Structures are given as structure tokens and as C-alpha cells.
Structure 1
Amino acid sequence: MHTRSIPTPRPLEVALLASVFIVSACGLVYELAAGALASYLLGDSVLQFSTIIGTYLFAMGVGSYLSRFFERQLPAHFLRIELLVALIGGALPALLFIANAELPGAFRWLLYALVLAVGTLVGLEIPLVMRILKKNVALKDLVSQVLTFDYLGALVVSLAFPLLLVPQLGLIRTGLLFGLMNAAVAVWALWLFRDELRQFKAHAVACALTLAALGAGMASADQVTTWAEDKLYQDKVVLAQTTPYQRIVVTHGPGAGRAGYRLFLNGNLQFAQRDEYRYHEALVHPVMAAYALAAPKKVAVLGGGDGMAVREILKYQGVESVTLVELDPAMTALFSTQPMLTQL
């Protein structure tokens, strides 16, 4: 009976495969952040995500092709690429917010330029890791292991991004957090290959500066978001919240002609307090008036988490119950607990 011994993974191999997991996760976060921001600021989410995913994958292909021209000092190249991805990818959401506020005409150009840059750099990473590992790992094991960790990283982030990261951290902090993770991989590589790097001190300084820059960005993320949204909306932002489904923003304009609150979902105006009655009255009363003898006792409202349609329905004394179905629980929570909104 023949038995085949399974070699124990070496520490270097384990470390690099773990970095593949992190690199894959970070790359997907930058792609999702670009798509989410483009949808938020430009609208038409299908078009934005489709073009950004296509551009990103194309750029990864370009990066994979360019990796063939890196022949010597592969660990040093890998470290530098990680730092570049950390800086560009980590700052991507903040840069796009700022560009939309200050240079709206250049927003699309910057969006796709950043996606191309990040995609190309990410496309360089995996081939370089595989070439570093091939000295110690058989080809068939190398490909299967690298791709396994690559896809696992993508799976984890695809679930965490909408359910945990964006609702809890927001887009800017999420980008910077994963930029820090890319920088951590660079620091890891700095330690793993400390005996092979010709300019160890220079690389160490670059790692420290990158971590400091991203850390400073994390500390000022709220200020950047507030500033960018103040530029985006005409009136003062009085409430902003990111949920797994959308970005909710409420503004208040004290001036004549714009007095009152306005609700925006993903940057799109939903209602203005000054004239919302025109929409909600026209939505509800013709339907209720169709019941000539008596209003229906039970009414279902699909959507309308702001409660405006329900307000109009409850003006009919014959209505005994109203069932409101809303996708985003945060909407019903805000409009049932926030004093400035419950009065509408």
C-alpha cells in the first residue's frame, strides 16, 4: 500500500498565501466602492457597476500582462505595488467625493482613471506572488492554493461590504481601512524579505509614511464626508445615515422658496417639505375616492417609509388598519422617531 505524504507548508508560503487573501479582499473593496460611489453620485446603478467592473477586470488583465517585465527583485516590486495600491485604492472614495464637490466636470475622468490604476496594480500582485512562491511550491499546488485564497477573499468582502462595512464605517472609512490592510501586507513583506531587500531602510520609511497618511485619513474621514455632502446639496445637511440599502440624507433650507426639509436617497431627491403634499395627495386620494360608498378598512402601502402616504390614508375615518411594507428599516425608524421628521 502506497501512501503519499503531504508536505507541511513553510512559514513563508503561509504568509504569502494569507497576503493573497488580503490582497483579493482589498481589490474587491476598491471595485465595489467605485461602483457604489458612481451609482450614488451619477445614478443608473446598472450602467455604473457594469462599466466599472468591466474596466477594472480589463485593467487587471493589463497588470497581469505587465508583470512579465518584472524580472529581478520581485519582493521589492511586490512591496512597492502594495504601497501604491494602499494609497490609491485607500484614498479612492475620498478623492471621488472631493472631485465631485470641487471638479464635477472631471468626476467621470477621475473615476475611470483611478479604477484603471488600481485594477492594473492589483493585476500585478497575484502573478508576482506566484512567481515568488514557485521556488518552493509545485505548479499544480501553487495555482490551486493561490486561486483558492484569492476567491475566498472575494467571497468574504462581497458579503461584508454591503452588510457590515458600509453601514458601520461608510465608504470613505471602508476604503481607508482596506488601504491600511494593503499597507500592512507591505510591512509583512518588508519583514519576510528583509534579507533580500537592497534598500531596506527606504522601504521601511515608505511603509511608515503610507501608514501615517492612511491613519490621518481615517481620523478625518467624517470631516471629509460632511464637507463633500455640504457641497453636494444646496441646503444644510441635518441628518445623514448609511444603511445596507442606501445613503439617507435630510437637508433643511431656511431661505424663502426652499424652506423646510428635503429627503435624498443616494443623492436623489425624494420629497421637499414645501410641496410634498401635491405628490402624496395625488397618490392617495384618487384611489380612496374610487370607493364611492365607504373607504376600505384595510390598506397596504408598498414603499413609502417616510409615512407621508399613510398620513393621507389615515384621514379617512373608515380605515381600520394600514400595513406599510418598506425595504429599509432605517427609513421607518427615522420617520417614526426623529422629532423633525415625525412632524411632517
Structure 2
Amino acid sequence: MKNSFAQKFTGQPLREGQQPDREGISSNYLLKACIFATGLAGIVAEYVMATLASYLLGNAVLQWTLTVSVMLFAMGVGSRLSKFIQNALLDAFVIVELILSILCAISATATYFLSAYIQWIGPFIYLMSFSIGLLIGLEIPLATRLNDFFEDLRINISSVMEKDYYGALLGGLIFAFL
């Protein structure tokens, strides 16, 4: 009996030399497409937050440095927290992706809206940057653990990180030139 996609995430990872079925292969591509898309959206959201911090708080170099540093620190915290997610990896990944997508989509609008009512918007900007970074930090280890069902560790780590970084490059280019 062929295992379904959902059953794969409750079973054991592929053993050396074992190949996933067709459904698993398409699921693997979907997982990597998600990583690429959130790599793109995450970096654009961070650049937008850093730009807004520069506009609203002044001192562009300081604001870019603080915003990106807060995001990177939060990514480390998210990675650390991911080890506590032991079951329902797919559910956790989908929830993280959904929340990350929503935060990326509303971050600029919420910042502009709140800046009209809050005298110093800095804490909100840094909280938003931390939240986005935390979710990105959760996302990569979860994706790597999910991808463990399709690829051995040597290929798994490099392919997940590769897609995230390619997405970030495209996001950076889109931010810079569009």
C-alpha cells in the first residue's frame, strides 16, 4: 500500500538510497517553492521595515543596522525554539508560513497607520522585525526536518538553504529595482 503525503510525516525519514514516490517528489518541490517564496517575502519585509525606520526615526545607517540585526537575532531564537516542535511538523510549518505571510503583507501598512497615532514608532518596527525574524528562524529548521523525508542530510540542508537564499536574492533585486 502506497503511503500518502500526510502519512510520510508521521513515519520515518528516507533511508540511504531509498527513493520517494511520485507524490513525495511533487511535495518536495512544493516545500522548496514555499521556502523560495518566503525567502523572497521575508527579505523584502525586512528591507521595508528598515526603510520605514529610516524615514520615521531618522539616522538611516543606525536604523538599517538595528532592524536587520534584530531580525537576525530573532532568526536564531526561532531556530532554537524549533527544536521544541516534535509532532505535526507539517501543521506547524503551514501555520508558521501563514503567519509569516500575513505579517509580511501587513507590516508596512500597519507601521504607517500606527505612526499617525504613536509618537515613537520604533518599538513597533523592532517588534515587527523580531516577529518576522522569529518565524523565518522557525521555518528553515521545520522545512529541513520535513525535507528529511525526501532527501538525505547532505542534500537536504543545502537544498533548503539554497532555495531560501535564492528567494532572498530575488527579493533584494525586486526591492532595489522596482
CA RMSD of aligned residues (A): 1.6
Give the drift of 1:61.
Answer: 0.5
Residues 1:55 and 2:70 are matched in the alignment: yes
Question: Which amino acid in 2 is paired with 1:75?
Answer: L
| 2:99 paired with 1:84 | yes
Aligned length: 158
Q: Give the corresponding residue for 1:159.
A: 173
Matches within 5 A, 1:178-327: none
TM-score normalised over the length of structure 1: 0.44
CA drift at 1:162: 2.1
Give the alignment partner of residue 121 of structure 1, picking from 118, 135, 139.
135
Larger fraction in helix = 2
Q: Please give the secondary structure, in 2, of the residue aligned with 1:135.
A: coil
Structure showing greater relative contact order (alpha-carbon pairs closer than 8 Å, 6 or more residues apart)? 2
1:44 aligns with 2:59: yes
Q: Cα deviations across residues 276-333 of structure 1 (Å, max 9, x unaligned)?
A: xxxxxxxxxxxxxxxxxxxxxxxxxxxxxxxxxxxxxxxxxxxxxxxxxxxxxxxxxx
Task: Show structure 1 runs of 4+ deviating over 4 A.
Answer: none
Distance 1:157 1:23 in 2: 9
Pick from 66, 72, 77: which aligns with 2:81?
66
Q: Partner letter of residue 176 of structure 2?
A: P
Percent same amino acid among aligned pairs? Answer: 34
Superposed displacement of residue 109, structure 1: 1.1
The runs of 5 or more residues in structure 1 that have no matched partner are 165-344
More strand by share: 1
What amino acid is aligned across from residue 117 of structure 1 in structure 2? S
- Give 2:114's aligned residue: 99
Q: What does residue 3 of structure 2 align with?
A: none
Q: What displacement does 1:89 show?
A: 2.2
